[in-house]
Amino acid sequence: MNDYKKIFPNLPERISGLGELAYNLWWSWHPAARMLFKSMDRQGWKDSIHNPVRMLKEIPREILEATAGDEEYLTRYDGVISEFRNKIKPKRCWFTENITEAQCSPIAYFSAEYGLHHSLPFYAGGLGFLAGDHLKECSDLGLPLVAVGFMYPGGYLRQRIRVDGWQEEVAAPLDRDAAPIARALDEKGKQLVVKVPCLDPPIYVGVWKVDVGNIPLYLMDTDIEANDPWNRQISAQLYIGDLEQRLRQEIILGIGGSEVLEALGIKHSVLHLNEGHPAFAILEQIRAQVNKGMNFDEAAGYVRNTSVFTTHTPVPAGHDVFPFHLLDKYLGSYYPLFGLSREHFFQLGAHPRSPEAGFNMTALALRMTGYHNGVSKRHAEVARRMWQPLWPQAKEEDVPIDGITNGVHLPTWVDPKMELLFNKHLGKDWLERHDDPETWKPVDDIPDKELWQVYIWLKIKLIDAIREQARKRWAEERRAASVNVVTSGTLLDPLALTIGFARRFATYKRAYLIFEDMERLKRLLTNRWRPVQIIFAGKAHPSDDEGKRILQHIFKLACDPNLGGRVAFVEDYGEQLAQHMVHGVDVWLNNPVPPMEASGTSGMKASINGIPQLSILDGWWIEGFNGKNGWAFEGSGSDKKDAEAVYDILETEIVPLYYKMDEDGVPHGWVEVMKEAIKGTAPQFSARRMVKEYTMRFYRKSLEAAAQP
Ligand SMILES: *Cc1c(COP(=O)(O)O)cnc(C)c1O
């Protein structure tokens, strides 16, 4: 428990609950809670980059005291704090009402990254936000879950684009004391430090805790004094390129993470692995049973019945394979603890087609867990084909990999202004029922003009935010006005049809596709009466030169006056920019190479805010597209043909529909599609539907198995 009085000495007693609230990310998905901080001091809120811990530390005492004497504020404060206290320790919730084993021991969720809020930059992309949204929804539904991961204190890389368009990374070290994280403490009141088992020489991790509503997230930090410099570097960066350092990360994540739960006295019974990186955690589950007297096979059988594994990608780089000599180096003294020979141990991670290739973390996870899934129906099919060799007796369609399609946490990704609109039209408790399609029927009755006006406001807000960033860089960093300021979005026009494309610059996502036919694109963008503009954002992995070349190519095109200033590249894509973009563009473009986009989630975030997608049929869109809620095309296997499909849809459907305004200035046909996007996406592609599915299909059975004597 934090001593909030010590952390925020200036905070008056009457509003002292703000201390606890600032340290629980619950505030971030409750607009009224967010407003408590924002309305106290708008500039302070902005200066803190929407980080209440930092704001409460830096804000002048007079403002805090004035706030504590403001009756209107105090009424809101009391309301929020009492809701917070009730929700954090609920007496009843969906989980206890539907699952009988309510008092069961917790589910341990392991992930290498978590995207929760930009003040905690422990993520690279979609996998992280999926994990973050999972935790938030588990909190809302009352699941007994604890989460484990890494904090990357030195590793968040801000993106800077040079004048020649090449991406550079600027490390932004984490200020641990200004982030909403607290040291987990031992009995003596010192930060808990845990020794990772079985490593010689030993490695230690410092333990931190993030409160995500009522879900605790424990993060490990190797950058502590007990470790030598090489070991301190282990948690420096996400998905480090060096294989040996990467293996060490994954040993710490899986094995060290299990030890952390042990040291905290948390007796979890069920394990959920988010992707293969933490798969060593399974071995620790088995070891615990072996220590209780089971032999390896018995222990493995037990652990299988209580473990869940989610695979997230068909892209080969997403599946770690480690050479055997590195395993020997670090885990040589580990194999015997299971009564296993070296060869038998290696077989646990062998890919049947190429057992000599090394130790495959996905193969380990699939072999040793009983419940596995891909992240959409299509991805499950692809994963069944990919991993069929692990089940040589099974026909491809019988390979036991299910599909549980991803979803996004609605309260996080719906814009607060939209939320107000929904409050008004969907009935007060709509958020409680948001995974029920019935809840969304009244969207049809929202007056078009009202929806359109909210939406235009959000679009202007996006363009404002982009211009403000460009202005700052120009003024403070003396950026080259002719290149960086022009391309970073200062020429954007709020009246033009705006396409958004923002995601990691992985090659398969094909950010370059729309530039395939420059003449045709130019005609679209520079049409005098019906102009189109495109906003790009996204980072290439620091060691992905191919991704950086694609980015540079786009940046250079954005500088080309022939495209009329209609292409912008906005630097430093992260949670904040993502929020602005999925609320404020007109169309979300998605054109990966099928079937590489296992699910994709940014299109869901846009759709729930009324921004329809133009997407290739891959990932979630195969399930999501219903003919009315956006636009779709089949992948052809050729860049040229796929690009033609994009132009065709833009020219014949999207542009005419968007610009067909009626006398009242509202494009009613377009608003119709916006409404369909909201109705067709919000219930089905919510994290609520997803977490309920994990619970009913996997967690419940695992919890039952764990409760067997
Ligand atoms: C949602 C999100 C992603 C994932 O987007 P995809 O469409 O799945 O690639 C990546 N980065 C950020 C910041 C996000 O919010």
Contact at 8 Å (CB) between 427 and 441? no
CA distance 553 to 391: 44
Which pLDDT score is estimated for 679? 97
CB atoms within 10 A of CB 664: 10
H or E element in which residue 532 lies? strand 532-537
Which atom of ligand 1 is closest in space to residue 603's alpha carbon?
Answer: 7
Q: Which pLDDT tens digit goes with each residue over 266-275?
A: 999 999 999 9
CA distance 376 to 364: 22
Nearest CA to ligand 1 atom 5: 602
CA of 596 relative to ligand 1 center, distance in Å: 15
Which atom of ligand 1 is closest in space to residue 590's alpha carbon?
Answer: 7
Q: Which two tokens stand for residue 608?
A: 């729930």
Which atom of ligand 1 is closest in space to residue 126's alpha carbon?
Answer: 4
Strand ranges, E, within 300-425: 307-310, 321-322, 359-360, 371-374, 402-403
DSSP state of 485: I
DSSP state of 160: E
Q: Which two tokens stand for residue 642?
A: 């796929």
Which pLDDT score is estimated for 96? 85
From 157, 503, 508, 582, the mutation candidate for ligand 1 (largest count of ligand atoms within 8 A of CB) is 503
Taking CA atoms, 109 is separated from 35, 143, 458, in Å, by 31, 12, 35
Amino acid in the structure at residue 261: L
Instruction: Pick left, alpha or beta for residue 665 (phi over 0 → left; psi -120 to 50 → alpha; otherwise beta).
Output: left
Residue 310 sits at the vertex; the CA angle it makes with 306 and 504, to the nearest 5 degrees, is 155
Amino acid in the structure at residue 209: K
CA distance 216 to 260: 13
Which atom of ligand 1 is closest in space to residue 605's alpha carbon?
Answer: 1
Contact at 8 Å (CB) between 194 and 205? yes
Nearest CA to ligand 1 atom 7: 602
Which atom of ligand 1 is closest in space to residue 575's alpha carbon?
Answer: 13
Which atom of ligand 1 is closest in space to residue 600's alpha carbon?
Answer: 8
Answer yes or no: pTM beyond 0.75. Answer: yes
For β-strands 630-633 and 613-616, DSSP reports them as: parallel
CA distance 303 to 123: 29
Q: Which of 241, 237, 99 is nearest to 172 (CA)?
A: 237
Which pLDDT score is estimated for 69? 96
CA of 124 relative to ligand 1 center, distance in Å: 9
Q: Which two tokens stand for residue 702?
A: 């695992």
* In the chain, % of residues over pLDDT 70: 99
Ranges of residues in the chain whose predicted pLDDT is under 70: 1, 100-103, 155, 709
CA of 573 relative to ligand 1 center, distance in Å: 9
Q: Classify residue 324 as exposed, middle or buried by CB count within 10 Å of its CB (0-12, 13-18, 19+).
A: middle
What is the secondary structure of 640-666 as a DSSP string? Answer: HHHHHHHHHHIIIIIHHHHT---TTS-
Which pLDDT score is estimated for 103? 62
From 28, 129, 681, the mutation candidate for ligand 1 (largest count of ligand atoms within 8 A of CB) is 129
Q: Which two tokens stand for residue 678?
A: 């909201």
Q: What is the 3-state secondary structure (H, E, C) of 563-608?
A: HCCCEEEECCCCHHHHHHHHHHCCEEEECCCCCCCCCCCHHHHHHH
Q: Which pLDDT tens digit goes with each residue over 293-312?
A: 999 999 999 999 999 999 99
From 602, 615, 685, the mutation candidate for ligand 1 (largest count of ligand atoms within 8 A of CB) is 602
Query: Helix 296-305 and helix 280-291: axis angle, to 10°?
Result: 120
Amino acid in the structure at residue 123: Y
Instruction: Pick left, alpha or beta for residue 270 (phi over 0 → left; psi -120 to 50 → alpha; otherwise beta).
Output: beta
Nearest CA to ligand 1 atom 4: 126
Q: Which of 292, 303, 267 is nearest to 702 (CA)?
A: 303
Chain center to CA of 670: 29
At a CB cut-off of 8 Å and minimum separation 6, what does 456 contact?
494
Pseudo-torsion of CA 640, 641, 644, 645, nearest 10°? -140
From 158, 504, 601, the mutation candidate for ligand 1 (largest count of ligand atoms within 8 A of CB) is 601
Scanning 39-150, the segments in alpha helix (DSSP H) are 42-47, 52-58, 61-68, 71-88, 94-98, 126-141
Q: Which of 361, 351, 405 is nearest to 380 (CA)?
A: 405
The phi, psi pair for 176, rounded to 5°, reads: -60, -30
CA of 130 relative to ligand 1 center, distance in Å: 9
Nearest CA to ligand 1 atom 11: 125
Which pLDDT score is estimated for 102? 56
CA of 527 relative to ligand 1 center, distance in Å: 31
CA of 115 relative to ligand 1 center, distance in Å: 10
CA of 407 relative to ligand 1 center, distance in Å: 12
Residues in contact with ligand 1 by the CB-under-6-Å rule are 125-126, 129, 503, 574-575, 578, 600-602, 605
Pseudo-torsion of CA 381, 383, 387, 392, nearest 10°? -20
Nearest CA to ligand 1 atom 8: 600
CA distance 115 to 383: 25
CA of 69 relative to ligand 1 center, distance in Å: 42
Nearest CA to ligand 1 atom 1: 602
Nearest CA to ligand 1 atom 2: 126
Which pLDDT score is estimated for 318? 84
Query: Helix 361-368 and helix 280-291: axis angle, to 10°?
Result: 40
Radius of gyration of the chain (CA): 25
Domains, the chain, ordered by start: 4-88 (no CATH), 94-154+180-406+692-707 (3.40.50.2000), 411-495+507-531+576-685 (3.40.50.2000)
CA of 126 relative to ligand 1 center, distance in Å: 4
CA of 605 relative to ligand 1 center, distance in Å: 9
